[in-house]
Amino acid sequence: MADVTFTDSSFDADVLKSDLPVVIDFWAPWCAPCRIVTPIIEDLATDYAGKVKVGKMNVDDNPQTAGNFGVMSIPTILVFKGGKPVKSIVGAQGKESYKRAIDEVLSS
């Protein structure tokens, strides 16, 4: 399971002030591609435990944050480092695409 469920109210503390890079899966329960990505995100949470905070944000329940970061399509995966979005992947991808993005952020 993904480490965290992010919300509009917890976003500042959980993401912007995080000491670790943060991977957020913006999703909705009705989105079929989002359901395909869920097990991949859960695997990434395990693979990067202690190095990256991985979680999900339901865009229906948390429209403010999704809007603030221009999330127009889901699934959208945003990677934050130092409180700023540094990578964005829109649409369902394979695990290697997400790993490559996370590894790039970790090595920068």
Instruction: Give 14-45 pLDDT, tens digit per residue.
Output: 999 999 999 999 999 999 999 999 999 999 99
Q: Does 88 participate in catalysis according to the annotation?
A: no
Q: Counting runs of H as helices and runs of E as strands, what totals does the chain give?
A: 4, 5
Distance CA 100, CA 107 (A): 11
Which tokens sit at 30? Answer: 């009705």
pTM of the model: 0.93
* pLDDT value at residue 4: 85
Instruction: Give 89-108 pLDDT, tens digit per residue.
Output: 999 999 999 999 999 999 98
User: Which residue among the candidates 34, 37, 44, 54 is catalytic per the annotation?
Assistant: 34
Question: Quick one: fold of 4-107?
Answer: Glutaredoxin (3.40.30)
User: Which residue among the candidates 4, 15, 23, 31 is catalytic per the annotation?
Assistant: 31
Domain range annotation of the chain: 4-107
Backbone phi and psi for residue 20, each to the nearest 5 degrees, phi listed first: -100, 155
Q: Does 34 participate in catalysis according to the annotation?
A: yes
